[in-house]
Amino acid sequence: LRVLVVGATGVIGRAVVSALEGRHEVVPVSHRAGALTLDLADSASIGRLYEKVGAVDAVVCAAGGTRFRPFSELSEEDFRFSLMHKLLGQINLVRLGLRFVAVGGSFTLTSGTLSRRPSPGGAAVSVANAGVEAFVASAAIELPRGIRINAVSPGWVAETLKKLGHRPEGGTPAATVARAYVEAIEGETNGTVIEPGGA
């Protein structure tokens, strides 16, 4: 399969690329690095990316910035940023990508467990994640040509915890998270939210 991976240079995206390489043709996309770039908050850049890449069998999104800070400090701009990138950005990736995805192809988006298990500082992230999951459930019953859509909903990724100076033991290894994306691409599920490693 020809698989477009948005966020290919990130902690999760890199693991998804490794898990797919050798099994499928990977088309990596990032924000700034590499030959193919897009800005999730800019729908025109998403359209240009698809025109450049052409037909694909699957689209993975492992990107979508959010702002994590105490509720008393979260500004309207923080909510706007989180919704523009993680929620509307991923919705636009599906809307604008639909005509480039082959019959029986798939979209796999990223939410996160804060959608259903809140944590202090996570209000903007929770709203964006819940929106992604609601979008996936509703788009799944309408996408044409047998195209499927699912979300992977990770908890903390071990490598991210380590990067932030925390102990990685409480997190899910990126390689385990990546397997959930591979399952979504290669399997038959539609409209589901997959929690990798039983997060």
Ligand X SMILES: NC(=O)c1ccc[n+]([C@@H]2O[C@H](COP(=O)([O-])OP(=O)(O)OC[C@H]3O[C@@H](n4cnc5c(N)ncnc54)[C@H](OP(=O)(O)O)[C@@H]3O)[C@@H](O)[C@H]2O)c1
Residue 86 binds ligand X (CB under 6 A): yes
User: Is 83 one of the binding residues for ligand X (CB under 6 A)?
Assistant: no
Under rule CB under 6 A, residue 67 binds ligand X:
no
The answer to whether residue 33 forms part of the interface with ligand X (CB under 6 A) is: yes
Q: How far apart are CA 22 and CA 12, in angstroms?
A: 18
Per CB under 6 A, the segment of 97-105, 115-123, 156-164, 185-193 that binds ligand X is 156-164
CA distances from 160 to 12, 120, 165, 170 (A): 9, 18, 9, 11
Chain-centre distance for alpha carbon 189: 16
d(CA 169, CA 76): 34
> Residue 43 in 3-state DSSP?
helix
Q: Detail the DSSP E strand segments found in 20-141.
A: 25-29, 56-61, 101-110
Q: Is 98 in the site for ligand X (CB under 6 A)?
A: no
105 makes contact with ligand X (CB under 6 A): no
State which residue, 12 or 194, has the beta carbon closest to ligand X. Answer: 12
For the bound state, the minimum distance from the C-beta of residue 103 to ligand X, rounded and expressed in Å, comes to: 27
**Binding region for ligand X (CB under 6 A):** 7-13, 30-33, 38-41, 62-66, 85-86, 110, 112, 154, 156-157, 160
